Amino acid sequence: MASATNNPSTAQSGVPTPEETQLRESLKRCSPAVVEAAVRYRATKDVQLVPTVVLGIIERFLEPGAAERLRHADDDVRVIEDLGLDSLTLMEAVILIEEVVQISINNDELRSLRTVGDIKVFIDHKVRGLPPPQPSKYLPLEQVAAVMPQQPPFLFVREATLSSAWATGTYTITGDETFLAGHFKDNPIFPASIMLEALGQLAVLYLLEAPSSQLGAPVDPKTIFFTGAEGVRCHRVCRPGDVLKLSVKPKRLRMPLATFEGHIRVGQERAAVAEEVSLTFGFLVEAPKSAEPAPQAASTPPAS
């Protein structure tokens, strides 16, 4: 009887409605907490329940190891690359989310949902009736190198995904980095200072390419310089073969200073944290247009 009182859909009679019965059937492979959140959402339209429902539905389609990771995931975890969902299974999850949350997601919108954060923000906008958020942007190595002032062999971001609120990237320690020959002899360890450099480079990329209007003007890559870091801690030794998963989030953006918090993981292990990485920057100044040339007087034809 107590559960019927707490459940708005059955509070009057204590008997589930046909709609609730169908909803519970659709979610029968989800956890009880997810089912109850979905039932309450249908009855109350409380948007605070939506993340529990959406992530619970995604978890239902994951392998056990990936499901455990999702429960502790940051918003930058990628649904396909990191959680192992293929495009067909992701479509199944989206169809179930549409049915349960009673929204519609078209294929163009689906293609822009690469990370857990993308999905959470997008669906939150949908259920609130807000315009869809600007999608995150993926940059492969070629595009990263095309815009960055740092270049190989001193470029430590090999791919990146950027949104208005964060940036993520990866760097694989190959073992061929020249500095590893001396750091250390017969025991190559990726330097902590280079890990901090990688976070700084990802922050540079955010300033140059993030889909955000916070800055109000394009940043000149020639004006971006590292100014400091605070609260830096290393938690794990990194060696050749490790894939560094980098993430930064802006804390303060006001020309000429940008401050970010940064994290590095290897798999699910924390490798390094920087509470603040600070950069100085300036806006791109367009070159003044040259004056229009004065019109030339018509030449006088030679006398015949």
Residues identified as active-site = 183
Note the pLDDT of residue 285: 86
For the chain, domains (ranges, CATH) are: 2-8+15-128 (no CATH), 137-280 (3.10.129.10)
Paired tokens of 195: 């890990």
Contacts of 184 (CB under 8 A, 6+ apart): none
pLDDT score of 224 more than 80: yes
| pTM for this model (two decimals) | 0.72
Paired tokens of 228: 């400091």
Note the pLDDT of residue 120: 87
Q: Measure Cα distances from 220 to 145, 165, 166, 225, 300 in Å.
A: 15, 20, 20, 11, 49
pLDDT score of 304 more than 50: no
What proportion of the chain, given as a percentage, has pLDDT over 70?
89
pLDDT, tens digit, for every residue of 170-184? 999 999 999 999 999
Note the pLDDT of residue 112: 80
Q: How much is the average pLDDT of 220-224?
A: 96
Note the pLDDT of residue 164: 84
3-class SS at 58?
A: helix
pLDDT interval class at 5 (50, 70, 90): very low
Give the largest Cα separation in the chain, rounded: 116
